[in-house]
């Protein structure tokens, strides 16, 4: 399937902008939860034992906090497809802007772009495990699995952020190139 450059750029801008808005909402809710309880849903990513999860859930035990944490984890499911699309399209933009024709480097950049959807799937699994432990109680096995999935997701998101930065650089470079006057000798 082929996509026009205009549609690629429009889809990238839309997914990146919408993702930034949802990310700001999720981050704001998470910071609010951390200020109220001392533990945020982001902190769960670094937990590797059931005891750590139990302590976090204990901090959220008073009525509204567990609901807020669950809502933040659930809202993350809205962010997941947005950042996956943004990061994937960023990889395509980077490949189009910085790699020549059918070079091995182009294939590597496009393979890196495929890391974003994998990271999104890992993020969905991580959230599902955390919500499950929030509702039914943590176990050592689930805590270790969630920790491993979280680490893999972090690597994938880091690759995506690098591609996003590359796409922004490519877009800024194109703007500057268009703005420069052409001087003929």
Tokens describing residue 136? 């039914």
Q: Give the other-Cβ count within 10 Å of 73's Cβ.
A: 20
Percent of the chain with pLDDT over 90: 68
Cα–Cα distance for residue pair 171/13, rounded to 1 Å? 11
pLDDT for the residue 2: 79
pLDDT for the residue 179: 54
Per residue in 26-73, pLDDT (tens digit) is 999 999 999 999 999 999 999 999 999 999 988 988 778 888 888 888
pLDDT for the residue 5: 85
pLDDT for the residue 39: 92
* CA-based R_g, the chain, Å: 20
| Mean per-residue pLDDT over the chain, rounded | 89
Local confidence band at 166 (pLDDT 50, 70, 90 cut-offs): very high
Per residue in 126-136, pLDDT (tens digit) is 999 998 998 89
pLDDT greater than 60 at residue 180 = no
What average pLDDT does range 79-90 have in this prediction? 95
Choose among 96, 101, 111, 93: nearest CA to 164: 93
Handedness of CA 49, 75, 17, 156 (dihedral sign): positive
Task: State the virtual CA torsion across 139, 143, 145, 150 in degrees, nearest 10.
Answer: 160
pLDDT for the residue 99: 85
Tokens describing residue 84? 């996956």
pLDDT for the residue 86: 95
């Amino acid at each position: 399937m082929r996509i026009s450059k205009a549609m690629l750029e429009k889809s990238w801008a839309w997914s990146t902008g919408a993702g930034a808005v949802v990310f700001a909402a999720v981050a704001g809710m998470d910071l609010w939860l951390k200020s109220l309880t001392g533990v945020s849903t982001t902190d769960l990513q670094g937990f590797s034992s059931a005891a750590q999860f139990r302590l976090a859930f204990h901090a959220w035990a008073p009525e509204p906090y567990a609901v807020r944490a669950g809502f933040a984890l659930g809202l993350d499911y809205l962010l997941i497809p947005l950042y996956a699309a943004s990061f994937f399209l960023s990889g395509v933009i980077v490949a189009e802007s910085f790699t020549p024709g059918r070079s091995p480097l182009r294939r590597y950049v496009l393979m890196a772009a495929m890391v974003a959807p994998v990271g999104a799937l890992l993020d969905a699994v991580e959230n599902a495990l955390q919500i499950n432990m929030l509702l039914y109680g943590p176990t050592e096995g689930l805590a270790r699995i969630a920790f491993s999935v979280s680490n893999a997701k972090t690597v994938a998101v880091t690759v995506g952020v690098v591609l996003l930065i590359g796409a922004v650089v490519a877009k800024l470079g194109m703007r500057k190139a268009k703005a420069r006057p052409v001087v003929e000798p």
